[in-house]
Amino acid sequence: MTIIEIKELFKTYNDSEIQVHAVNGVDLNIEEGEFTAIVGPSGSGKTTLLNMLGGLDQPTSGSIRIDDTDLGKLKSSQLIDFRMKNIGFVFQSYNLIPVLTAKENVEFVMHLQGRPKKEREARTMQLLEAVGLKGREDSRPSKLSGGQQQRVAVARALASKPKFVLADEPTANLDSKSTENLLNIMEELNKQEKITFIFSTHDQRVVNKAHRVITLEDGKIISDNRKK
């Protein structure tokens, strides 16, 4: 089942007198449960595409439909609400809330959604166990390694049971062991919970794990390979 449908997507920046097409006519469908990597050199438009997919940036033209919702037709406040309910984010530099513990960071979005305490706690413990951080619930981010922090970020992204997770260079700041560990966890969650993951990455290890690899260059898709 298609959960993301992108048609004729353009993002153009007017830099002085030169027009820069960061995303230049992208057509793309993402199916439910995919484990997709978007790759390409710096400036190829990966992050811009991901930002538009996440409703953080508006396209110049074209449309993005997520299930039955056209992101372009949502108001700013509706977009925030849509993001909270439907999209999980994992960032390159973890971006956890430093004053909250691992558990509280995972719970945070559910708090914003107004979920009951019991449900929040059960889901948090389930996710922290799934990412291998049982026993570290009460640690603040400063007491966790980079890999552990990124695993908390993955748990946070999944907490609200989103339709898909956008991960922007999630392994860029991790060592090999942490990267391997994180990718295994995400692959496992993808298999078990049928969660759709979309990565933007330079990292070959992520590419190797991905089931589908989309290559961008100058804002255009130049290849789209599915692994058997």
Partner 1 sequence: MITSVAWRNIWRNPLRSGIIITAITIGMFAGVFSATFMKGWMNQRLEAGIETETSHIQIHNPEYRKNYDIRQIILKGFELAEQLAKNPTINGVSPRITIQSMVASAETGTGVKIMGIIPEKEKQVTSLSEYVTEGDYFESISRNPIVIGKKLSEKLKIKLKSKVVITLQDADGNLTGGAFRVCGIFDTANSMYEETNVFVRYQDLARLSMLSEGVAHEIIIHLHDQNDLNSTTLALREQHPGLKVLNWKELTPELGYLNEIGNLYTYIFVIIILLSLGFGIVNTMLMVVMERVKEIGMLMAIGMGKLRVFLMLMFETILLTLTGGTIGIMLGLGASLALKQNGINLSNWAQGLEDFGYSSIVYPVVEGQMVVVIVILVILTGILASLYPARKALKYNPADAIRTE
Q: Which residues are at the interface with partner 1 (CB under 8 A)? A: 47, 51, 54, 56-57, 77, 80-81, 83-85, 89, 91, 93, 95, 97-100, 104, 108-109, 111-113, 156, 160
Q: For 33-68, b where at least 16 C-beta lie within 10 A, e where not — what string? A: bbbbbbbbeeebbbbbbbbbbbbeeebeebebbbee
Contact in structure between 4 and 86 (CB atoms under 8 Å): no
**CA torsion angle for 212, 195, 27, 14 (degrees, to 10)?**
-110
SS3 222: strand
Least distance (Å) between residue 170 CB and partner 1: 13
Q: Closest approach of Cβ 226 to partner 1, in Å?
A: 29
- In the complex with partner 1, the residue whose CB is nearer, 109 or 133, is 109
- According to DSSP, residue 45 is labeled S
Please, which residue, 112 or 222, has the CB nearer to partner 1? 112
Comparing CB distances to partner 1, the nearer of 31 and 81 is: 81
> In this complex, which beta carbon is closest to partner 1, that of residue 114 or of residue 177?
114
Q: How far is the CB of 97 from partner 1 (least distance, A)?
A: 7
